[in-house]
Amino acid sequence: MAKVLVVDDSPTEMLRFREILVKNGFEMFEADNGEDGCAKAIEVMPDVVLMDIVMPEMNGFQATRKITREPKTAHIPVVIVSTKNQETDRVWGKRQGAKEYLTKPINEEELIRVIRSVTSVSAG
């Protein structure tokens, strides 16, 4: 079963991620800020990290950079999932190490397709 770490400070978004991921057979782990997400990535070693951008303390760009540049977690693909939908945000996200960039509201089919495209494992 593929492990997905979701880093998002919105309880509503977290609920939506949980609905989609559990329904599609993924094991989900949660962190509600960037700092926590970086620590959880080392602890859990997920197959993919879904990262929000706008969060208190450490934002998603900073957390993505930290995860993708830390030797222990550099192999873990990070997918940014954010309400920020400007091209500059996409470019900056990719420069921080994100493999993909999705915008909210989350489209279930697109999310599952992207998770499968950046990981070598499938659900179930």
- List, for residues 4-19, the tens digit of each pLDDT value: 999 999 999 999 999 9
Nearest to 99 by CA among 124, 122, 116, 123: 116
**Topology at the third CATH level for domain 3-118:** Rossmann fold (3.40.50)
Q: Which helix (H) or strand (E) holds 94?
A: helix 87-95
The whole-angstrom separation of Cα 123 and Cα 60 is 25
Question: Which tokens hold the place of 81?
Answer: 């999932």
Extents of the domains making up the chain:
3-118
- 63-98 pLDDT, tens digit per residue, is 999 999 999 999 999 999 999 999 999 999 999 999
User: Has this prediction a pTM greater than 0.85?
Assistant: yes
- DSSP letter for 98, please: -
Name the burial class of residue 32, with classes exposed (0-12), middle (13-18) and buried (19+) by CB atoms within 10 angstroms of its CB.
middle
- 15-44 pLDDT, tens digit per residue, is 999 999 999 999 999 999 999 999 999 999
pLDDT of 115 above 70? yes
pLDDT confidence of residue 121: 63
8 in Cβ contact with 55 (< 8 Å): yes
Specify the length of the chain in residues: 124
pLDDT confidence of residue 120: 74
The whole-angstrom separation of Cα 59 and Cα 117 is 25
φ, ψ for residue 93 (rounded to 5)?
Answer: -60, -45
